[in-house]
Amino acid sequence: MTTSPDTEAERSRGRFDRGVGCLVYLVSILLAGVGVYVAGIGVLDETHLRVGTFGIAGLLLLLHAIERRRVQSWPVLRRLLDTLLLVALLVAIHRYLQIGEMLQVGLYAFTTQDLAIGAVGLVVLLEMTRRAIGWPLLVICVLMVLYGLYGQHLPWIFEHAGMSFRQLMQVTWYSFDGVFGNPIAIVVSMILIYVVFGSMLEGIGAGDVLLKFAFALTGRLRGGPAHSAIAASGAFGTMSGSVAGNVVGTGVITIPMIRNRGFPASYAGGLEAAASSGGQFMPPVMGAVAFIMADVTGIPYLTIATAALVPALFYYLALFTAVHLEAVKRDIKPIPKAERPHLTLHDYLMSLCFLVPLGVVVTLLIAGRSPAFAGFYAVITAVVLGILLNPQVRQNPRCLVDALYAAGISSAKIIVAVGAIGILIGVMNATGLGLRFANTIMAVAGDSLFLALIMMMLGSLVLGMGMPTVPAYLIIVLVMGPAIEQMGVATLIVHLFVVYFGVLSSITPPVALAAFVAAPIANANPMRISVDACRLALIGFIIPFVLVYNPSLSLVEAFQWDSFLWAVARLTLAIWLFSSAVSGYAAAHLGAVSRTIRLAIGFSILVPVVWIEALGFALGALLLAGDFLQSRKAGGQWNALVNKRTDLSQ
């Protein structure tokens, strides 16, 4: 019996697909393994740490693209393009490794071939950036390359002395000032281990138990699953380096349940997007951005985590308050006791898979060990507890390897994004644009710190659109941070300010990455989800300003008990006023005028002028007292009505 040519071709394609899939799996595990090795086992020389790991990340992304082409149109042409990109990347990385030692001692003269290979490497990096992150970062990087080459012809602050093509390649590709600069070294040596940590927690089932605890603890509240989403997303999000990944990880469970309780679809998606975003500035891990910040600023990690704690708690307090008011307005009842998850002894034991590794991180950091060392032992602890406490892990230990695979894919995207940002950093430093930009902001803002902060906020929201937290933070703080520091704001406060708006750019229109990720889960319009997310996260756009003018909230900068307590009281009252204004409900439905008044009073409470904030606080306190009395009255009327109906029925 003969085999038809078509059948043989299909078998060949099948073998090819399986081979590529196996290779993707192995390379992804290798990349995650590099993060584990560097964090706790051994060290790599700088060239292999930066360039070699970048090469593995690029290899993984391009192989992953080749693997996926079998289900897309024009698979042969697309795979051919991916293969060419893969070969070009390997050639560029190989050439760097060949001449790396001579580059470090400055004894190498570039040839035309070197420059061409470096240019090809940049092109491949930009294409990988487009695929992994999207168009916004690609456009920024292309503009910076063009700026480096032709910026001498531009007016105003953009004019510089000029860069030749040779200088551009030397800065961006063939040095540790560009693509392979300090950010990529930090990611490989410090951040990858926490990507592995988050993936491993999910792999051993800690994420599922976390959700179950959240539903059990908040099920008695009016918001029910909505409050559960806030708690779970905040806890899980601090371990995740990606807002989008957090939305998917918890949203697939929480969003449908929120809808089923009576909340609109867009509200469910917006709440998940807002709650998932907040995890990126919630200590202790803060989506790993805290470790990057510690390296950039030289401020100890524990100081950064302490400073971020109170503002993050207020952010989630605002979300809880907004959800409660929305639930009362829509007359949504708590989840019936019979429908709430019942926590078993196994669930309490499984909670140790989340709590103990987290405790290991905090304990080792307090003991003065490095974040990478703490992350390494947290991963080991999570794996051991998963094997001991979860029978599913013992029955299917491959879930641990699958967790490494997922961590490798996520790590590759982060490495490519940070490599692309290296182009921006290299060109800015070589041309002096950053310093001129900072001086211009100071000149435009004059003595107005508030105006400078507004400019920084807008710049942060624009520059951070469509990007993960770490690259967004790096771009914004390097471009705009020095300007605010020159106006007398503490370095730590400036960096926290940047982190907030870099994170919130993920829910801000028109890009709103988190909203677009939540849209198919919620089956709602992404722009509507984005608007609802911004409404719910309104206090998040205000907290950074409050932190600048009230540094005592950080617990470390100019801390004084009286100013701290006064700031806490004002911010708490403002949260109630903002939440009731946004939801249109306090003790009763609010009209447009009442909502506007509440917004105005809420803002006045936070204005850093003594008599304005005092007057606003007094008016806000009167409104709060009125809401409380009206709520008590309404509750009494409701109880009387229930008792009357009971008497009639008897």
Task: State the DSSP string of 200-222.
Answer: HHHHTTHHHHHHHHHHHHHTTST
Instruction: Give residues with Cβ within 8 angstroms of 298, minimum separation 6.
Output: none
Residue 13's pLDDT band (cuts 50, 70, 90): low
Query: What would the two tokens of residue 403 be?
Result: 């967790």
pLDDT of residue 637: 47
Q: How many CA atoms lie within 13 A of 48 on its CB side?
A: 8
The residue length of the chain stands at 650
Cβ pair 136, 144 in contact under 8 A: no
Residue with tokens 């929480």, as numbered in its chain: 254
What φ, ψ does residue 589 adopt, rounded to 5°?
-65, 140
pLDDT of residue 648: 41
Q: State pLDDT tens for residues 93-139.
A: 999 888 877 777 767 788 889 999 999 999 999 999 888 877 878 88
Q: Is the dihedral of CA 496, 499, 504, 510 positive or negative?
A: positive
Query: What would the two tokens of residue 5 be?
Result: 């040519």
- Domain ends where: 527, 559, 591? 559
Q: State pLDDT tens for residues 29-50.
A: 999 999 999 988 877 788 888 8
Do residue 433 and residue 379 come from a single domain?
yes
Question: How many structural domains is the chain composed of?
Answer: 2
Residue 635's pLDDT band (cuts 50, 70, 90): low
pLDDT of residue 3: 55
Residue with tokens 């009442």, as numbered in its chain: 594
Q: State pLDDT tens for residues 289-329.
A: 888 888 888 888 889 989 999 999 999 999 999 998 988 88
Do residue 555 and residue 575 come from a single domain?
no
Cβ pair 220, 419 in contact under 8 A: no
Do residue 526 and residue 648 come from a single domain?
no
Range of the structural domain that residue 245 is part of: 185-559
Do residue 528 and residue 568 come from a single domain?
no
| Of 266, 320, 226, the residue nearest 509 (C-alpha) | 266
pLDDT of residue 369: 84
Judge whether 345 lies within some domain: yes
Q: Hey, is 488 helix, strand or coil?
A: coil
Do residue 423 and residue 540 come from a single domain?
yes
**Ramachandran region, residue 155 (left: φ > 0; alpha: ψ -120 to 50; beta: rest):** beta
pLDDT of residue 224: 75
Q: Hey, is 589 helix, strand or coil?
A: strand
Residue 646's pLDDT band (cuts 50, 70, 90): very low
Judge whether 30 lies within some domain: no
pLDDT of residue 73: 57
Judge whether 83 lies within some domain: no
Cβ pair 438, 483 in contact under 8 A: yes
- Domain ends where: 537, 559, 581? 559
Return the ∠ at Cα 477 (arms to 480 and 240), rounded to 5°: 150
Judge whether 238 lies within some domain: yes
Residue bearing the bigger pLDDT, 19 or 566: 566
Mean pLDDT along residues 233-262: 79
Judge whether 531 lies within some domain: yes
Q: State pLDDT tens for residues 603-624.
A: 999 998 889 999 999 999 999 9
pLDDT of residue 644: 44
Q: Is the peptide bond before 225 cis (omega within 30 degrees of 0)?
A: no
Judge whether 499 lies within some domain: yes
DSSP string, 360-416: HHHHHHHTT--HHHHHHHHHHHHHHHHHHH-HHHHH-THHHHHHHHHHHHHHHHHHH
Residue bearing the bigger pLDDT, 468 or 358: 358
pLDDT of residue 581: 92
- Domain ends where: 538, 559, 580? 559
Q: State pLDDT tens for residues 573-593.
A: 999 999 999 988 887 888 889
Do residue 243 and residue 356 come from a single domain?
yes
Judge whether 207 lies within some domain: yes
Q: Is the pLDDT of residue 379 over 90?
A: yes
In percent, the amount of the chain with pLDDT more than 90 equals: 33
Q: Is the pLDDT of residue 261 over 60?
A: yes
Do residue 577 and residue 445 come from a single domain?
no
Q: Is the pLDDT of residue 638 over 50?
A: no
Rg of the chain (C-alpha set): 27
Cβ pair 107, 401 in contact under 8 A: no
Q: Is the pLDDT of residue 70 over 70?
A: no
Do residue 394 and residue 527 come from a single domain?
yes
Partners of 585 in beta bridges: 589
Mean pLDDT along residues 221-225: 77
Residue bearing the bigger pLDDT, 577 or 232: 577
Do residue 268 and residue 322 come from a single domain?
yes
Judge whether 224 lies within some domain: yes
Do residue 551 and residue 646 come from a single domain?
no
pLDDT of residue 240: 66
Do residue 399 and residue 519 come from a single domain?
yes
Do residue 425 and residue 278 come from a single domain?
yes
Mean pLDDT along residues 546-550: 93
